[in-house]
């Protein structure tokens, strides 16, 4: 009796069962371009325009202050030989204080905790939260385990909780 047809059918059936088993455990992964999504939302564009206008105004104000400092320094240079030591020291201190004032102003407007950052949080954060929420809903509806941001630096936007192994790593560290 020829066992070859039975062997081939059995092998094919086994391969089919194995492929179904592997695909049942396969992780579903997707990527989105969050920047492209944000740039397609008019509310986001309007917020960006407002932030740009405000930042440009502050840059102009700071540039004007630096022009004032430059004028103070030029006058000081021109009059330096005519000034007493005390008057020179006083003018130098005025220039130094004005420079510090402008640097502080620049930091207050553009620094990591400055007004521009806070304003961006007020205007843009709610829009970003809406987008991330929509992505999470989409992932849950479609059964994705991970969604990556391909256009920015956000990395993983959504991951299924079953793949979060943080607590296991913490437990392992506690044992050491």
Residue 172 structure tokens: 């392992």
Per-residue pLDDT at 4 exceeds 50: yes
C-alpha to C-alpha distance for 172 and 116, rounded to whole angstroms: 42
Map out the domains of the chain as residue ranges: 44-124
What are the φ/ψ torsions at residue 26 (nearest 5 degrees)? Answer: -65, 140
Per-residue pLDDT at 8 exceeds 60: no
| 82 Cβ contact partners less than 8 Å away, ≥ 6 residues apart | none
Q: For the residues 9-17, what does the mean pLDDT come to?
A: 49
pLDDT reported for residue 149: 82
C-alpha to C-alpha distance for 82 and 115, rounded to whole angstroms: 43
86-96: per-residue pLDDT in tens? 999 999 999 99
What's the chain's average pLDDT?
83
Among 14-23, 118-127, 150-159, the range with the most confident prediction by mean pLDDT is 118-127
Nearest alpha-carbon partner for 68 in 38, 112, 101:
101
Q: For the residues 151-158, what does the mean pLDDT come to?
A: 69
pLDDT reported for residue 2: 53
Is residue 175 within a helix (H) or strand (E), and if so which, with residue range? helix 166-175
Per-residue pLDDT at 138 exceeds 50: yes
Q: Which of 34-43, 87-96, 106-115, 167-176 has the lowest mean pLDDT?
A: 167-176
């Amino acid at each position: 009796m020829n066992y070859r047809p039975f062997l081939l059918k059995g092998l094919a059936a086994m391969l089919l069962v194995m492929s179904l088993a592997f695909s049942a455990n396969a992780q579903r992964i997707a990527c989105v371009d969050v920047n492209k999504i944000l740039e397609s939302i008019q509310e986001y564009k309007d917020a960006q325009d407002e932030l740009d206008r405000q930042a440009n105004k502050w840059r102009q104000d700071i540039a004007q202050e630096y022009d004032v400092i430059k004028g103070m320094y030029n006058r000081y240079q021109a009059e330096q030989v005519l000034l007493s030591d005390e008057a020179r020291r006083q003018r130098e201190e005025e220039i130094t204080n004005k420079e510090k004032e402008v640097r502080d102003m620049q930091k207050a407007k553009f620094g990591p905790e400055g007004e521009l950052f806070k304003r961006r949080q007020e205007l843009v954060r709610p829009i970003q939260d809406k987008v991330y929420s929509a992505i999470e809903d989409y992932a849950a509806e479609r059964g994705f385990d991970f969604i990556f941001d391909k256009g920015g630096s956000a990395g993983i936007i959504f991951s299924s909780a079953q793949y979060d192994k943080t607590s296991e790593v913490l437990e392992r560290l506690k044992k050491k």
